[in-house]
Amino acid sequence: MIRSARKRHGAFVVLWVCLLPLIFFVGFESRTSFLGTEERVGVPIVPFDFGHIYSNNGRIYLFISHRVPSDPLVYWSPHEPRGHALPQDAIFLCAYVADKAEIPPMEPGFLIVYSLTDSEIIYQSRWEGVP
Amino acid sequence: MGRCPLSLGYQAVGWNPQKKRYDMVVLSGLITYLAVFLGLAFTWFPHITIETAIIRAFGTAALILLHVILSIGPLCRISDRFLPLLYNRRHLGVIMFTVAAVHGTMSLVQFHALGDMGILASLFTSELPYLHQGWVPFQPLGALALLILFAMAATSHDFWLANLTAPMWKTLHSLVYVAYVCLVGHVVFGILQVETHPLWFGSLVLGAVWLTSIHLIAARKEHRLDVIQTHNAWISCGKWSDIPEDRAVLVCGHGERIAVFRYDGKISAVSNVCQHQNGPLGEGKIIDGCITCPWHGYQYLPDSGQSPPPFTEKIPTFRTKLEGDIVFVQAEPLPPGTQVPPTEVPK
């Protein structure tokens, strides 16, 4: 290769060596920083198998503490789901975005986290209602 | 050196048995990978949609292929055993772009084409509401990488190599490093935000460490060759008998590496830079009386630096002389294609 091309090539590699660790660091850190802190100042009122429900200024937030599935949607159902499919009477509450979901007060039943990508229920837990 | 035509004409692909074999191996490997990925995906996640599985299969395949492509260059600098992989790297690049384009197109259709917003507007704005939460938009990074890969794939032909000139063409294709950084960002800030198993993150880091390491090792090896040994008009190349028959030794001239060849009891020196893709002629050998580039087989006559007729490529030549057993080469190049009488050495 000609010398000028080698120098240009070297400059690209130096840029690469500088940027990659930064991307990895920020990317790794951001995986936990998305756990919204503002909403989490409230008192955890319901521990779940897969996360917590927090109440803050009258609003209720769901946080998933396990792996967050792709395209997660939050549903409520009066009946316990059987298998991976959503129950017929499941009611869509909201999308789980940026690691939290604000959910309306619901009657006792079951809270379901459904992955639109995987088309299956990922998490479910009994919901006793807000105390 | 100016622009030189690289061949008499162009055709879409100059097929030969080696290229066919190369492409067959790549395509077989790709199809096998996709089949295994989809099989495992539907076994482990039976409710995954076919669209998602295909998007992920093609995305990971493109990323793996890019790692292979970026490994070939430095591996060839480290050891010439890898040169057969370099021979048809452009086909590998075009195949990788095609695979990445399938991933990109299917993602656009799946996530951006079914709403009430334009596809591109949706692609570049759908992540904006989350910026204040520290979210890094990963989709524009993927789009930028795909754009670069498209530019590279579209110009992966000798027509563009000749018309852009080799240095410009190589600069354009050096953008593959920018594309790689964008793709790492696309993956890290995209799928790895939700797929948090350490295996995935670890694999990507391992890939980056591997590529960085071999590039640094190759650069270190190359740097040794670029130390200018003297500022004199004539550069010592060592004993003529130390130059292997039909091979070359490399010395660093005032501006560029010089390949000093020994053949048929003669010594000739030419620029180390092939006119085709700036490959290292000094790492090639003399076949049928011609210096043959180890990258793609372009040939030059050692005493004139001209490609044998009907080809018209020319490279600079250098005067040589013998003092005792020591070969000297003049540091200043002669114009491309200048005939220089070879220096005779005992056979």
pLDDT, one tens digit for every residue, chain B (347 residues): 344 444 555 555 566 778 888 889 999 999 999 999 999 998 887 767 888 899 999 999 999 999 999 999 899 888 878 878 877 788 899 999 999 999 999 999 988 887 778 888 888 888 776 676 667 889 999 999 999 999 999 988 777 777 877 778 888 888 999 999 999 999 999 888 877 778 889 999 999 999 999 999 988 887 777 766 556 688 888 898 899 999 998 888 776 789 999 998 999 999 988 888 778 888 888 988 999 988 778 899 999 999 988 888 899 999 999 898 899 999 888 999 999 999 988 76
pLDDT of residue B295: 77
pLDDT of residue A41: 47
Domain boundary among B225, B255, B273: B225
B35: burial class by Cβ within 10 Å (0-12, 13-18, 19+)?
A: exposed
C-alpha span between A115 and A100 (Å, rounded): 15
pLDDT of residue B114: 76
Residue B208 sits in the same domain as residue B285: no
Residue B6 contacts by C-beta under 8 Å, 6 or more apart in sequence? B158, B161, B162, B275, B276, B313
Residue B295 sits in the same domain as residue B331: yes
Q: Which two tokens stand for residue B196?
A: 């948090």
Touching check for A84 and chain B: CB below 8 Å? yes
pLDDT of residue A32: 52
Q: Do B215 and A70 touch (CB under 8 A)?
A: no
pLDDT of residue B320: 93
Q: In degrees rounded to 5, what are phi and psi of residue A102?
A: -90, 120
Q: What is the distance in angstroms between the Cα of B342 and the nearest Cα belonging to chain A?
A: 24
Cβ-Cβ contacts under 8 Å, B215 against chain A = 13
Residue B314 sits in the same domain as residue B197: no
C-alpha span between B68 and B207 (Å, rounded): 10
Q: Do B177 and A16 touch (CB under 8 A)?
A: yes
The count of C-alpha atoms lying within 13 angstroms of the C-alpha of B76, restricted to the half-sphere facing its C-beta, is: 19
A contact test, residue of B52, B173, B186 with most A CBs within 10 A: B52
At B163, which amino acid appears?
A: N
C-alpha span between A6 and B219 (Å, rounded): 9
The beta-strand segments (E) located in chain B are 234-239, 248-252, 257-263, 266-271, 285-287, 290-292, 299-300, 317-318, 320-323, 326-330, 343-344
pLDDT of residue B184: 96
Cβ count within 10 A of residue B333 = 22
Q: Do B133 and A19 touch (CB under 8 A)?
A: no
Residue B240 sits in the same domain as residue B216: no
Helices B139-154 and B89-112, packing angle to 10 deg: 140
| Mean pLDDT of the A82-93 span | 88
Q: Which two tokens stand for residue A66?
A: 């396990």
Q: Which two tokens stand for residue B263?
A: 């053949």
Q: Do A84 and B47 touch (CB under 8 A)?
A: yes
Q: What is the distance in angstroms between the Cα of B121 and the nearest Cα belonging to chain A?
A: 20
C-alpha span between B333 and A3 (Å, rounded): 15
Cβ-Cβ contacts under 8 Å, A118 against chain B = 45, 47-49, 52
In a domain, B182, yes or no: yes
Touching check for A37 and chain B: CB below 8 Å? no
Say which residue, A51 or B2, is predicted with more confidence: A51
Q: Which two tokens stand for residue A71?
A: 């395209």
Q: What is the largest CA-CA distance in chain B?
A: 82
Q: Do A2 and B256 touch (CB under 8 A)?
A: yes
Residue B282 sits in the same domain as residue B318: yes
B326: left (phi over 0), alpha (psi -120 to 50) or beta: beta
Residue B317 sits in the same domain as residue B198: no
Nearest C-alpha neighbor of B320 from the set B337, B344, B285: B344
Touching check for A88 and chain B: CB below 8 Å? no
* Counted domains in chain B: 2
pLDDT of residue A122: 85
Q: Which helix (H) or strand (E) holds A56?
A: strand A51-56
pLDDT of residue B5: 46
pLDDT of residue B234: 87
Residue B41 contacts by C-beta under 8 Å, 6 or more apart in sequence? B48, B53, B56, B57
Residue B102 sits in the same domain as residue B140: yes
Pairing of strands B299-300, B290-292: antiparallel
At B66, which amino acid appears?
A: L
Residue of B nearest to A71 (CA): B194
Smallest Cβ–Cβ distance between A3 and the set B205, B255, B279 belongs to B255
Residue B145 sits in the same domain as residue B286: no
Q: Do B52 and A20 touch (CB under 8 A)?
A: no
Residue B53 sits in the same domain as residue B159: yes
C-alpha span between A28 and B336 (Å, rounded): 53
pLDDT of residue B103: 97
A44: left (phi over 0), alpha (psi -120 to 50) or beta: beta
| Mean pLDDT of the A6-22 span | 86
In a domain, B47, yes or no: yes
Domain boundary among B174, B207, B225: B225
pLDDT at residue A72 is higher than 60: yes
At B101, which amino acid appears?
A: A
Q: Which helix (H) or strand (E) holds A109?
A: strand A109-115
Residue B306 sits in the same domain as residue B333: yes
pLDDT at residue A85 is higher than 50: yes
pLDDT at residue A37 is higher than 80: no
In a domain, B312, yes or no: yes
DSSP state of B344: E
Cβ-Cβ contacts under 8 Å, B181 against chain A = 15-16, 19-20, 23
> Domain range spanning residue B79?
17-225
Domain boundary among B200, B225, B250: B225
In a domain, B2, yes or no: no
Cβ-Cβ contacts under 8 Å, B257 against chain A = 3
Domain CATH number, residue B258: 2.102.10.10
DSSP state of B272: S
B134: left (phi over 0), alpha (psi -120 to 50) or beta: left
Residue of B nearest to A118 (CA): B48
Residue B138 sits in the same domain as residue B287: no
Q: In degrees rounded to 5, what are phi and psi of residue A81?
A: -65, 145
Touching check for A98 and chain B: CB below 8 Å? yes
In a domain, B5, yes or no: no
C-alpha span between B237 and B228 (Å, rounded): 12
In a domain, B12, yes or no: no
In a domain, B261, yes or no: yes
Cβ-Cβ contacts under 8 Å, A69 against chain B = 194
Smallest Cβ–Cβ distance between B47 and the set A9, A20, A120 belongs to A120
Cβ-Cβ contacts under 8 Å, A34 against chain B = 133-135, 193
Cα distances from B327 to residues B272, B281, B330, in angstroms, run 17, 19, 10
pLDDT of residue B84: 80
Q: Do B47 and A30 touch (CB under 8 A)?
A: no
Residue B203 sits in the same domain as residue B317: no
At B344, which amino acid appears?
A: E
pLDDT of residue A35: 40
In a domain, B119, yes or no: yes
Touching check for A67 and chain B: CB below 8 Å? yes
